[in-house]
Amino acid sequence: MFFPIALGGYFFLGSRERPSEWANIWLIFLSLFFYSYWDIRYLPLLLLSIGGNYFVSGVIILRRRMKQPAKSVFLLGMIFNAGLLGFFKYTDFFIENLNFLGENIPLLHIVLPLGISFFTITQMVYLVDCYEGVAKERNLVHYALFVSFFPHLLAGPILYHRSMMKQFNDRTLRLVDWDNLGRGLTLFIIGLAKKVLIADSFVSFVGSGFAHPEHLTLLDSWAVAVCYMMQLYFDFSGYSDMAVGIARMMNIQIPINFDAPYRAYGIINFWQRWHMSLTTTITNYLYTPMIMAFKKITFGKAMLATFLSMLIAGAWHGAGWNYIIFGALHGGGLVLNHTWKKYHFWMWRPLGYVLTLLLVLAAFVFFRANSVADALQVLYAMAGGHGVALPSSVAGVASHYFDVPVEILAGGHLPKKVFLVSLLLVALCPSSNCLVKNIQPNNKWAFAVAILFVWAIMSLSQVTAFLYFQF
C-alpha cells in the first residue's frame, strides 16, 4: 500500500498550478515513515545526522564565502559522522580485539541501524564537496530529501548532490511521465523477481553450508560458495533495480549500480561493473585524495593508494577481520591487474574471466563467513582438504571403477533449477537496465511483466532481509 500512496501524493501535489515544495516535503515525510517502520527508535539518529550535517555544511559554505578558513569546521563534521558510524558499527569489534589481548570488557551488543553506512557516507561526501567549493546550494527541503530519499536510503546506490539537487528543484519532474512510469515499474518488478524468485531460493542452502563449514567436502563447498555468489548478486542488484525503478517512476534518475559484473575480464573491470556508485566514491573520495597527498606520484604510490582504498572499503562493509581480508584480496587483485596492464603482459581472455571469478569467489567466502576461521574452513574444503563426497548416483560408479573411497553427499538441498537459471542469466542475459532501455512497449511486454509480478508476489512466503541491509 505504501508506494501507490507515495506516488499518487507526489504527482497530486506536484501537478498543482501554483509551484511549491509540497511534493518534495511529501517524499521526506514518507521517507521518514518508511525508515521508522523498521524501528522508530532510530528515527532520531537519522534526524540528528541530517540536522548536524546540514548545519556543518552551512557553516563551511558561509566561511568559504567570507574567505575564512573552514578546515576546522570540516574536520569536526567528518569526526561527527565517523563517530556516529564508529559507535554503532565498530564498538563491539574494538572491544572484541581488546579482549583478545587480555582485557575482559563486556560487549555492548549494539544493533546496527539500517542504512547508517549509506546515509553517513552520502553526507561525508557532501561535506567534502562543500569544503572544496563544489556544493553551494542551501535548501533544507532538498538536502533532507537527498539524504532520506526512501528508495536508496537503506542500501544505496550512493547519491551525489550535484545531480540530485538539480532534479529536486525541477518542477517539471513532478508531473506524470507514462514512459518513465512503465519502464520504472518494469525495472522494479525485475528487481523484485531477482530477490524473491532467485536470491531467496539460496538462503537455506547457503545458510546451512556456512553454519557448519567443517562438514563441507569438495563438491558441496564449491556449490555453497558459488550459490552465495549468485545469492549476493541477485539480492543486491535486485534491490538496486527496485530503487532505480521506483525513482524513475517519479521521474528521478539515480545511479545504476550493476552492469553484468560476473562477465568481467579483470578485477579492474569487475569494479567498473559491481556496486558502481561505491566504486565512484572510492575513486573520488579515497583514492584521489591519497594520490594528491604525495608530492611526486609514482606507479608504486598509486598502487599503495589503490590497496589502502580497498582495505578501507572492506572495513566499511562490516566490523570484522573477514571484511578487512575481503578488501585486502580485492586491493591485491587490483594492484596485480594494474601491474599486468602496465607491463603489457599477455593474458588469454577466457583465462582472465576465470581468474577474476576465482578471486571474487574467494573474497566472497570471507565476506559471507561468520569468522575468518570459518572462511578458511570453506576454502580448505574447496581445495579438497575435507575429502570428496559425491551424489549417490555417481558415488557407486566412482568407487567401483576407480577404486576411490567416497562418501555420499549429505546436507542441504541445492536448488538445482534456480542454480542453473542463475548461471545462465549472469552469463548470457543483458543487464536489467539494458533490457528496460531497449523494451518496445506493447501488450506482450505488459502481459509478461504482469505474470512476473504475480509470480513474485505469490512467492513471498517468508521474510528475508536484503543482504546489504547489514552493511
Residues catalogued as catalytic: 317
Residue 245 CB-half CA count within 13 A? 23
Distance CA 301, CA 337 (A): 15
Treating both helix axes as pointing N-terminal to C-terminal, what angle do 140-148 and 43-65 enclose, rounded to 10 degrees?
Answer: 130
63: Cβ contacts below 8 Å, ≥ 6 apart: 69, 70, 73
Contact status, residue 195 vs residue 454, Cβ threshold 8 Å: no
Residue 151: CB atoms within 10 A of its CB come to 28
User: Residue 184's closest CA among 363, 424, 6, 383?
Assistant: 6
Distance CA 415, CA 320 (A): 30
Cβ density class 430-451: b for 16+ within 10 Å, e for less:
ebbbeebeeeeeeeeeeeebee
Distance CA 320, CA 371 (A): 8
Phi/psi for 408 (5° steps) reads: -80, 130
Distance CA 199, CA 466 (A): 9
User: Residue 396's closest CA among 386, 409, 383, 384?
Assistant: 409
User: Residue 355's closest CA among 363, 365, 366?
Assistant: 363
Residue 286: CB atoms within 10 A of its CB come to 19
Q: How far is CA 289 from CA 143, 223, 467, in A?
A: 25, 41, 30
DSSP 62-100: HHHHTT---HHHHHHHHHHHHHHHHHHHHHHHHHHHHHH
Return the SS3 of 110.
coil
Q: How far is CA 317 from CA 116, 278, 461, 467, in A?
A: 11, 11, 29, 11
